[in-house]
């Protein structure tokens, strides 16, 4: 099982980090060891002084696929969730300056929060889902999947042209604007269409 993450998929987030808008989806990976165990608090790593939350809609692949056409991509997943791609922003900035990979900033243990899974049939269209993240009961990120540069089916088709997708693989579809830091004592809650998907204490 692999975690496939998409970067720079929301224009406002690209602008807030002063990044260049990509011509194609930006892909990076997290190992399965990045998954934060259920019911476990998140402990800020000692190697960062600027740990950022990034809330994202997730999809879980349920059958093997390679070179999937966009028109058939919807057949390769039937569950969605919400999660967090925790990012050591100071570490990432240094790596980017040197033209180095991001793994130390993105793929460390516990950096992938995965909420509960629900059937995509619970919603009319996953291309029009509202989702949000609250920090200490205040909304810090809020957006809709309709703002994605590349929609879920397009992402699946694109990713599958490089990597064989296998049952259980999870795609993090990108974060909207509003990312920010967390500190010990913070409490995070994630929602899709006002339905809670995860809650998390920061230590």
Return the DSSP state at 97: H
**pLDDT tens for residues 51-109?**
999 999 999 999 999 999 999 999 999 999 999 999 999 999 999 999 999 999 999 99
pTM over 0.85, yes/no: yes
User: How many helices and strands, by DSSP H and E, does the chain display?
Assistant: 4, 14
Model confidence pLDDT, tens digit, residues 111-124: 999 999 999 999 98
Tens-place pLDDT, residues 116-158:
999 999 998 999 999 999 999 999 999 999 999 999 999 999 9
Ordered by start, the domain boundaries in the chain are 3-37+54-128+144-179
Mention every residue, 6+ apart, whose C-beta is less than 8 A from residue 92.
102, 105, 106
Return d(Cα 96, Cα 26) in angstroms, integer: 14
Is residue 51 within 8 Å of 92, Cβ to Cβ? no
The answer to whether 140 touches 47, Cβ cutoff 8 Å, is no
In Å, what is the CA distance from 48 to each residue of 36, 90, 94, 130, 202?
Answer: 18, 7, 11, 31, 14
CATH class (in words) of the domain with range 3-37+54-128+144-179: alpha beta
Q: How many CB atoms neighbour CB 168 within 10 A? A: 11
């Amino acid at each position: 099982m692999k975690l496939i993450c998409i970067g720079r998929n929301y224009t406002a987030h690209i602008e807030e980090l002063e990044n260049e808008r990509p011509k194609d989806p930006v892909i990076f990976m997290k190992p399965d060891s990045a998954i934060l165990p259920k019911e476990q608090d998140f402990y800020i790593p000692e190697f960062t002084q600027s740990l950022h939350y990034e809330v994202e809609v997730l999809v879980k692949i349920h059958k093997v696929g390679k070179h999937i056409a966009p028109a058939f991509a919807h057949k390769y997943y039937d569950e969605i969730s919400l999660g967090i791609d925790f990012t050591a922003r100071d570490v990432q900035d240094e790596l980017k300056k040197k033209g180095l990979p991001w793994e130390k900033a993105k793929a460390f243990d516990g950096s992938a929060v995965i909420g509960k899974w629900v059937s995509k049939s619970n919603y009319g269209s996953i291309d029009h889902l509202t989702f949000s993240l609250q920090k200490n009961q205040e909304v810090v990120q809020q957006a809709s999947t309709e703002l994605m540069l590349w929609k879920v089916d397009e992402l699946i088709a694109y990713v599958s042209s490089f990597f064989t997708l296998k049952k259980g693989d999870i795609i993090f579809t990108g974060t909207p604007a509003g990312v920010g830091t967390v500190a010990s004592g913070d409490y995070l809650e994630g929602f899709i269409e006002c339905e809670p998907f995860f809650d998390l204490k920061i230590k």
